[in-house]
A and B are shown apart, each in its own frame.
Chain A
């Protein structure tokens, strides 16, 4: 039962809420209460959700909990604010995959622990299609 552990990270997972170190003037994702470089206390930072694919792979043998989702695409995404992030890509065909591909964040199901369990939701990334392509209001 990972409910409490995953509950703590929900803001980061649902909507890419990260952290910002005022001393280093750098946004951080995943968020940490203290800056990993200087130890300064961080504040909340909302990432735009826009980025590009730094690297990707198609997983054909998944670990427990993901074995029934294969094949699925994982990536390192370079967020436009700087940090790299490990995440799945979704709504993308294998032929479309390339390094440097622009992507936007969406919130999707990550895993489903069955009829007695819970569903874990998280950020994933896809080629730009919807809300993130709009100029921010």
Chain B
């Protein structure tokens, strides 16, 4: 039985909130350490051939989702130029929060000066956790329950030693200060979410590393959800691929996002600005947000941007933005995403093992 699509349905809720909202500021972060994927390939497969992803970003010994979220949030606030006290929600989406119980959000809120009069919480939805935080922020600000909300998606992805994920799992993320459209550098035109119960990738609470269902995460997972969410959004907006200057999709590897873009009618050129996976790997909950941040770094007023996430388990969020005049001043306030990616300190597998906590010290 074919699964139901939603593209033709007229129901399914509004594609944007009551008030016009958008992105007031954005920030990205990628740690500076890099693992060439030839390293795990050498150690575990005795293989020296180049891998599809060239290298992976690896957190420093003193970095985690909290510290990366704080830098992302500071970057986003600097671009937004707003007072931290006006941030009414701090929502951090990640699959690698340092605590199972005790929120990342409160710590980030304290560090940026948004506490105590703010909402704060962590979201968990595999690689969709960050865009879920964006959806919630758009809803909150769109319902006038807060003037601004901060949505962060970030991960320090873990992989079992020797698993194929060691050739793809990266680290990084981005965040967005959501606020009124009039103050926005990119206005939200609409968003759609599409979810189902699909066991393609998971980690039980006590497990150190995630497990995955191999190729099952492709067709029934990634492709189905992204295609459905994107088609529904385009339908509701009455838009088509040609209307967008840029598109960025969740990037578990270089092939998937290219293939899904092609299927939806987006040329390689339109994907280029947001394509980062080859240089940092799959940043999980940070991936789609990093892609969008990198697109905003180069976007011009009047351009339209499509951004779509995919999280295992499973679901996709699709967003359409129209870039406004404020982008040019705001972008330059913080170093662009590509600068974070360009700064690199290479690690061998032994140092990578230390950085990623893979050396047991009893």
Task: Tell me, yes or no, whether A binds B.
Answer: yes
Chain A contacts to B: CB under 8 angstroms? 10-11, 14-15, 46, 68-69, 88, 90-91, 93, 106-110, 119, 121, 124, 129-131, 133-137
A109 to B66, CA, bound (A): 9
Contacts of B112 in A (CB 8 A): 15
Contacts of A119 in B (CB 8 A): 64, 66, 98-99
Interface residues of B in 58-81 (CB under 8 A from A): 60-64, 66-67, 70-71, 74-75, 78, 80-81
In the complex, the answer to whether A11 meets B110 with C-beta atoms within 8 Å is yes
Given A90-B62, A133-B335, output 12 extra A-B contacts at Cβ < 8 Å: A10-B110, A14-B107, A68-B361, A69-B62, A93-B345, A106-B70, A107-B70, A108-B67, A109-B62, A119-B98, A130-B75, A137-B81
Known: A14-B107, A107-B67, A109-B63. A134 touches B361 (CB 8 A): no
The yes or no answer to B326 lying at the interface (CB within 8 A) is no
Residue ID in chain A nearest B113 by CB atoms: A15
A109 to B62, CA, bound (A): 5
Contact with A along B341-352 (1 / 0, CB 8 A): 001010000000
Min C-beta distance of B311 to chain A, whole Å: 25
A23 to B279, CA, bound (A): 53
A54 to B337, CA, bound (A): 31
Contacts of B340 in A (CB 8 A): 129-130
A93 to B344, CA, bound (A): 12
The yes or no answer to B334 lying at the interface (CB within 8 A) is yes
The yes or no answer to B274 lying at the interface (CB within 8 A) is no
Contacts of B99 in A (CB 8 A): 119
In the complex, the answer to whether A130 meets B334 with C-beta atoms within 8 Å is yes
Known: A10-B110, A121-B107, A131-B75. A69 touches B61 (CB 8 A): yes
In the complex, the answer to whether B334 meets A108 with C-beta atoms within 8 Å is no
The yes or no answer to B16 lying at the interface (CB within 8 A) is no
Find A91's partner among B60, B107, B111, B113 (CB 8 Å cutoff).
Answer: B60
Contacts of A10 in B (CB 8 A): 110
Contacts of A15 in B (CB 8 A): 110-113
Contacts of A11 in B (CB 8 A): 110
Residue ID in chain B nearest A15 by CB atoms: B111
In the complex, the answer to whether B335 meets A106 with C-beta atoms within 8 Å is no
In the complex, the answer to whether A131 meets B67 with C-beta atoms within 8 Å is no
Min C-beta distance of A23 to chain B, whole Å: 26
A124 to B214, CA, bound (A): 40
Contacts of B335 in A (CB 8 A): 129-130, 133-134
Residue ID in chain B nearest A109 by CB atoms: B62
Known: A14-B110, A15-B111, A107-B111. A134 touches B66 (CB 8 A): no
Residue ID in chain A nearest B102 by CB atoms: A118
Contacts of A136 in B (CB 8 A): 78
In the complex, the answer to whether B113 meets A130 with C-beta atoms within 8 Å is no
In the complex, the answer to whether A108 meets B78 with C-beta atoms within 8 Å is no
